[in-house]
Structure 1
Amino acid sequence: MDLRDDPTIPLQIDGFAKKHFATHKKGLLRRKVPVEKMLQWSKESLKLPLLALDKNAHRDALKIFKIIQRIMGDRPRVRGSTAVEDIQWVLERGLQQPELRDEIYVQLCKQVTANPSRQGWELLSVVCVTFPSSKNFEDYLKCFIQQHFNEPDSIDVMATHCYKKLLRIINTGPKGKAPTFGEIEHAKAAAFNPTVFGESLDVIMEMQAKDFPGLPIPRILAFLAEGILDLNGQQSEGIFRVPGDADFVTNLKLRIEKDNYDLAGITDPNVPASLLKFWLRDLADPLIPGDFYRECISTSEDAASALAIIDRLPTVNRQVAEYIIGFLQVFARPECSQRTKMTIDNLAMVFAPNFLRCPTSSLTQIFENTRHEQAFVKTLILHMKCSPIGKQSTT
């Protein structure tokens, strides 16, 4: 929805500002600073947070603004510090202190307003993949970003990218930990360097169409699945259940984001297995579109109905689902599950959240639907006739 066309948004924003923005005064007569003036790029320090925060949060809020200025080049850098370290510190504050998230966002809104530099938008790009704003601030933030969709000097590209990532993080919630230095650097440049993570299957297929026109599934899917098999994942106890080393998983993700599809130095099949699950879970839209969710739940143990649903999926979704089920059938073979201790039930339990996403936020409903989601995936593993998994042309 384009909030710029909603005539009630200015009133909502004005109401938000009156309710949540702190009162700033300036000059000998201590005149009140208008909100529109307060929210403009400045090289001056803040005397108060921009939002009405608890006094215990004031010190951190003011420090965050100074560091944002330092990141953007508006304040001298402390010897020995780096911009990426500063960015990580700001992200950690937002993750550890949720009450500061809106303040961080509004400080960035201020510092990109009437500012010719792109650095603020780069920082906003990183924040938008790390944690969301509060519900109260969502419409304000969405409208602010949309107002820059037609800006020159590539700001439009960055604003559109930030908006997409903001919508995504609103749905998924904050990350469990701050991004690594490598992830931060990638996120800063992501608006101009599309990634195969967090996008829709259609977008991913468009990205690879020129170099891999004959590949019917995303290159990353074939690469990771074949990597698991090449590393003897079918003999690894707890495969798909045991997580891979976090540093190795992050490193492999960064390699792929740089178009380096290479498992050099990786010997543990749990590393590509963990990244495969992450890639599926991180798709912008679920593998089985939400329109099919209720039908999947209600016919979860009916083989004919479950297979008919797969046949009706969009072409790329169907091809990906068939490939993954065929891949899981390799691990469902008795001689394989005896070694991995991963039964069909175990496989279905692990992969169900990567196939289906419950559309409700009700924990009771999510818990109730879980067994049906698992039953649906189990039914597919047991009854779908899939082609043998073979090497795809991914290099």
Structure 2
Amino acid sequence: RSKSMVMGELTRGSSRPSSPSLQERAVKAGWLKKQRSIMKNWQLRWFVLRTDQLYFYKDEEETKPQGCIPLHGCQVNELTANPDEPGRHLFEIVPGTGEKDRSALSHEAFLLMANSQNDMEDWVKAIRRVIWAPFGGIFGQHLEDTVQYERKFGPRLAPLLVEQCVDFIREQGLKEEGLFRMPGQANLVKELQDAFDCGDKPLFDNTDVHTVASLLKLYLRELPEPVIPFNKYEDFLTCAQLLLKDEEVGLSELAQQVKTLPQANYNLLKYICFLDEVQSHSSENKMSVQNLATVFGPNILRPKMEDPVTMME
């Protein structure tokens, strides 16, 4: 039997884990191959990620899982591609790294294969978020949840990542040409993202400013809702139209709307208004108000359902 079946026995007390509750929303689902621990051959199975469990089924129609991998306390690692075996996009889940799990579970890894590099990266990212969300995973998490979690580390206006990025840019890069427009080092951005998602607080000692700027943009882009919530979109769009007709009236209405934002959103908007400092150096960094609006506009204000007309507005 597969190692994952044994895992199901250890955690559920039976040879076949019970069906997950219908209330447990699937975080991710798709086909993966899993390696059987004894035969070392591969089985194609339908995997469903729910809360902190990764269930696998014979096919999409099955309601009773064949087994599950409990993810609490696990680590997930991408495996380096073997040039002699192209097309094998492997990652592993290493169980029992938490203190509570060490006596009960083997440390033998669960080896899984995705059908593409992108698919593997998506699975690794989704599983890491599930594992680390209770410990401070923030990319793709609701702003309020992140703020609530980080309160235990002391009061702050914005999520720690935002503060850290803004402070670094203030010190190192306000005059950097192409700030927020030039891309950072993609591999380093991903490393920093994974570190923050895993509860680490990496330092930016030897990091270039474009990489830190890209990390900040990525965080804002991956928020489930933009800085101004979807339900306030129409109100703020009306303010924009008022500003064109009568600036004084428009500014007054805008001030009123800003005050109605949820506290976490208000604080984040207030913090990223450091962009005013960025545009004050536009003669050097070439980032005017218009350029900054192009880069940050969709992360600050966008409708839930986008179409060409609303995008132009």
The bucket for the TM-score relative to the shorter chain is 0.5 to 0.7
> Are residues 1:200 and 2:110 paired?
no
Q: Distance in 2 between matches of 1:223 and 1:112?
A: 45
Unaligned runs of 5+ in 2: 1-15, 17-29, 48-55, 78-116, 244-249
How far apart in 2 are the matches of 1:321 and 1:265?
26
In structure 2, the partner of 1:309 is: 257
Match in the other structure for 1:339: 284
Residue in 2 that maps onto 1:285: 225
The 1-side partners of 2:136 and 2:214 are apart by: 22
Tell me the residue number matched to 1:234: 174
Q: How many residues align?
A: 231
Greater strand share, 1 or 2? 2
- Matching residue within 38, 63, 68 for 1:117: 68
Q: Give the secondary-structure state (helix, strand or coil) at the position aligned to 1:117.
A: strand
SS at match of 1:317: helix
Is residue 273 of structure 1 aligned with residue 213 of structure 2? yes
Q: What's the CA shift for 1:269?
A: 0.7
d(CA) in 1 for partners of 2:123, 2:224: 24
Provide closer, same or farther for how the CA distance between residues 225 and 182 of structure 1 changes in structure 2, counting only shifts above 3 A: farther
- Please state which structure has a larger fraction of its residues in helix: 1
Q: Is the Cα–Cα contact under 8 Å of residues 182 and 254 in structure 1 kept in the other structure?
A: no
Per-residue CA deviation, residues 341-366 of structure 1 (Å, 9 max, x unaligned), is: 110111111111111122224x3223
Cα contact 1:310–1:318 (8 A) shared by 2: yes
Cα 1:76–1:339 shift into 2, 3 Å: farther
Distance 1:203 1:217 in 2: 12
C-alpha RMSD of matched pairs (Å): 4.0
List aligned pairs for 1:26-45, cutoff 5 A: none
Distance 1:233 1:116, change over 3 A: same
After TM superposition, the score normalised by the length of structure 1 is 0.50
2:304 to 344, 349, 359: 359
Specify the alignment match of 1:44 in structure 2: none
Corresponding residue of 1:218? 159
Using the aligned pairs only, state the percent identity: 22
Q: In 2, Cα distance between the equivalents of 1:317 and 1:117?
A: 37
| Deviation string, structure 1 residues 122-161 (Cα, Å, up to 9, x no partner) | 9xx99xxxxxxxxxxxxxxxxxxxxxxxxxxxxxxxxxxx
Query: Is the 8 Å Cα contact of residues 223 and 261 (structure 1) preserved in structure 2?
Result: no
1:262 Cα shift?
2.4
Q: 338-347 vs 281-290, which deviates more?
A: 281-290
Q: Which runs of 5+ in 1 are unaligned?
A: 1-40, 42-60, 92-104, 127-174, 370-395
Label 1:75 to 1:311 Cα distance change in 2 as closer, same or farther (>3 A). Answer: farther
Distance 2:222 2:282 in 1: 27
In structure 1, distance between residues paired with 2:170 and 2:59: 45
Deviation at 1:200, TM superposition (A): 1.5
Cα 1:291–1:185 change in 2 (3 A) is closer
